[in-house]
Amino acid sequence: MMMQAYLIQSINLFASALLLLSFAMLSQRRILTLIHLFTLQGAALVAATVVVAYVTDQHHLYYSAAITLVTKVFVIPLLLHRLIDRLNIKWDVETLINIPTTMLIGILLVVFAFNLALPIVKLSSSIAHSTLGIALACVLLSFMMMITRAKAVPQVIGFLSMENGLFFAATAATYGMPMVVEFGIAFDVLVGVFILGVFMFQIREQFDSLDIRHLEKLKDD
Amino acid sequence: MSWSGLFSQLLEIAVALLLAPLLTGWVNQCRAWLQNKSAPSLMLQYRMLRKLFHKESVVAEHASPLFRAAPYIVFGCMALASGIIPTLSTDLPLSPAADAIALVGLFAFARVFISLAAMDIGTAFGTMGARREMLIGFLAEPALLMVLFSASLITQSTSLTGIVETLAHGKFTIYPSMAFAGVAFTLVSLAENARVPVDNPSTHLELTMIHEALILEYSGRHLALIEWAGSLKMFAYSCIGLALFFPWGMAEVDAPGATILALPVLVFKLAIGGALLALIETVSAKMRIFRVPEFLATAFMLAVIGMLVHFLPGA
């Protein structure tokens, strides 16, 4: 029983680590560090899922943790590393709003997400239900990261991190989605990264820059 | 006030005064090892203090009495702070004198006096250093308060001894909010103790220094007191960190003999903490001064999130 209590507390701890990493990504300027943080976030997600699977004895969660491990911790970071090597970008991330302001908006988003999650938490009977607020906050923070970044690669990382948040929300609220759906999402994300990678080369060829604000010029043609 | 309480109080202040230069020496030694340099002796800080106390102190012609008084005030603040923070035992007669909020006030008080003294002489460096010190101070204090509040929310007390008693001797629980507070506290204490990402303690390069610019005009016993106060401040911050995040091994009210046993535990924890500090200083580069607000905003925000996480239902 004691063990059970510690395991549930460690789910909360991993959830907090997930939120912490979301904030770290929001405040990070370097693309390379951004990818490392994304990898770490994936690892925290895997750890949280495994603990939930162990505590509730839900075997399918082990499989989804394994899929997450392979895609989000190994394959996608590897692809991203190769992508930034090929595009030869490691440093420059230009934010549209300065970082302290982004952080303050981030706090507001967390408060909003926690309040939003309150009524849902009351309905859920899952052991990890209290972390639903954190999962929602992660999703919103990743949204904001996509909004505040001008370059394409950080936006893609924001998108992937949002998927992490959604996955964690599903685990927290209902012990994960059906296996078929999870497989589908995992492949979608993987294919999405491929397509966005190709897309980035196209953007750069067209505009000599990865700044997506240039895309607005296309309207004139 | 019991005799055992008085004993542990006096022992704690004595330990703080004696161990603080050793901690600084240890951090310097670890840093030298990590940077492949030949390390200075552990005793170097003591020798430097002895040397400075024996030297004549030269005071500028236009210095006001405030300039002479500031080292004593700063040293007194730091000595009092190390008496309030529980390091060996939670049975401290001084602890009702100041809770966590007053402790932050005490650090601020010392900061105000050292900055005023730096501006007193009227040199450009002193004034510049004072301004930068205040810039860092006003951003670091709210973050430190929020960290202490996260601990207070868990333990329902703002008294540091109360916090430690609940955390160390209650049932062991993992608090997610303390994870946030821990990261925030690390950032704040790096900034407050003039360590590498914010300030470089071992430089006199004029454009980058903050802490060294403040004390440029001091010499002799004044400088010795300020250096000692600096070591005490680092010791005090390390002990706040240990008290909040690793409070195990500290003696309780009704166990007077355990105070002695707590000493090796404290030394062990400080040795590890000092080595980690040296590691952080080695792997990170000094920031531009205009990046510091961002760094401390992150600390503040993490501490606030920690408090929010505490209010999560069921967490």
Indicate yes or no: CB of B298 within 8 angstroms of CB of A121: no
Q: Which residues contact A204 (CB under 8 A, 6 or more apart)?
A: A87, A210
> Chain A partners of B301 at a C-beta cutoff of 8 Å?
23, 103-104, 106-107
Q: How far apart are CA B103 and CA B82, in angstroms?
A: 10
Nearest residue on chain B to A121, judged by CA atoms? Answer: B313
Q: How far apart are CA B195 and CA B201, in angstroms?
A: 6
Mean of the per-residue pLDDT values for chain A? 84
User: Dihedral through CA A172, CA A177, CA A183, CA A187, nearest 10?
Assistant: -60
Q: Which of B173, B176, B314 sits opposite A129 (nearest CB)?
A: B314
Q: Which of B301, B312, B314 sits opposite A103 (nearest CB)?
A: B301
Q: Which of B126, B282, B285, B116 is nearest to B206 (CA)?
A: B126
Chain B residues at the A interface, defined by Cβ less than 8 Å, are 173-174, 176-177, 179-180, 183, 293-294, 297-298, 301-302, 304-305, 308-309, 311-315
Higher pLDDT, B234 or A190: B234
Helices B100-120 and B65-84: crossing angle in degrees, nearest 10, is 160
> Chain B partners of A27 at a C-beta cutoff of 8 Å?
294, 298
The pLDDT of residue B313 is above 70:
no
Shortest Cα distance from A202 to chain B (angstroms)?
34
Indicate yes or no: CB of A100 within 8 angstroms of CB of B315: no
Q: Which of B149, B19, B144 is nearest to B82 (CA)?
A: B19
Q: Which residue type occupies A37?
A: L
Cα distances (Å, whole numbers) of residue B216 to A69, B124, B158, B162:
54, 11, 37, 40
Per the CB < 8 A criterion, the answer to whether A176 and A193 are in contact is no
Indicate yes or no: CB of B174 within 8 angstroms of CB of A129: no
pLDDT in tens, B97-133: 888 899 999 999 999 999 999 999 888 888 988 999 9
Q: How far apart are CA B160 and CA A195, in angstroms?
A: 55
Q: Which of B183, B308, B314 sits opposite A130 (nearest CB)?
A: B314
Q: Could you list the residue range(s) of the whole structural domain that residue A156 is in? A: 2-220
- Residue B5 CB: number of other CB atoms within 10 A? 19
Residue A155 DSSP SS3: helix
Averaged pLDDT, B136-144: 92
- C-alpha triplet B234, B196, B290: angle, nearest 5°: 115
Q: How far apart are CA B87 and CA B83, in angstroms?
A: 9
The structure tokens 């507001």 sit at A108
Token digits of residue A43: 């690892």
pLDDT in tens, A69-108: 998 899 989 988 988 888 877 666 667 788 888 888 998 9
Shortest Cα distance from A101 to chain B (angstroms)?
9
At residue B17, the pLDDT reads 93
Q: B315: pLDDT confidence band, cut at 50, 70 and 90?
A: very low
Per the CB < 8 A criterion, the answer to whether B225 and B70 are in contact is no
Averaged pLDDT, B263-278: 92
Q: Which of B81, B84, B95, B184 is nearest to B141 (CA)?
A: B184
> Chain A partners of B305 at a C-beta cutoff of 8 Å?
19-20, 23, 107, 110
- Backbone dihedral angles phi then psi of residue B109, each to the nearest 5 degrees: -60, -50
- Please give the tally of structural domains in chain A: 1
The structure tokens 């067209």 sit at A206
Q: Which of A16, A104, A118 sits opposite B176 (nearest CB)?
A: A16
Cα distances (Å, whole numbers) of residue B124 to A123, B41, B57, B121:
64, 34, 21, 9
Token digits of residue B256: 């007077």
Token digits of residue B245: 């995040």
At residue B30, the pLDDT reads 94
Indicate yes or no: CB of A10 within 8 angstroms of CB of B314: no
Q: Which of A170, A107, A172, A97 is nearest to A140 (CA)?
A: A107
Please tell me the least confidently modeled range out of A87-91, B40-44, B227-231: A87-91
Token digits of residue B170: 């209650």
The radius of gyration computed from the CA coordinates of chain A, to the nearest angstrom, equals 18
User: What 8-state DSSP symbol labels residue B315?
Assistant: -
Q: Which of B176, B294, B298 sits opposite A12 (nearest CB)?
A: B176
User: What 8-state DSSP symbol labels residue A74?
Assistant: I
The radius of gyration computed from the CA coordinates of chain B, to the nearest angstrom, equals 19
Whole-prediction pTM: 0.87
Q: Which of B234, B303, B313, B172 is nearest to B20 (CA)?
A: B234
Shortest Cα distance from B149 to chain A (angstroms)?
17
Q: Which of B114, B107, B82 is nearest to B223 (CA)?
A: B114
At residue B144, the pLDDT reads 94
Cross-strand bridge partners of residue A7: none
Q: Which of A19, A99, A130 sits opposite B294 (nearest CB)?
A: A99
pLDDT in tens, A103-146: 889 989 998 998 888 888 777 777 777 788 889 999 999 999 98
Q: Which of A109, A98, A96 is nearest to A136 (CA)?
A: A109
Query: Concatenated DSSP letters for A66-135?
Result: HHHIIIIIIIHHHHHHHHHHHHT-SS---BSS-HHHHHHHHHHHHHHHHHHHHHHHHH---TTGGGHHHH
Q: How far apart are CA A152 and CA A146, in angstroms?
A: 9
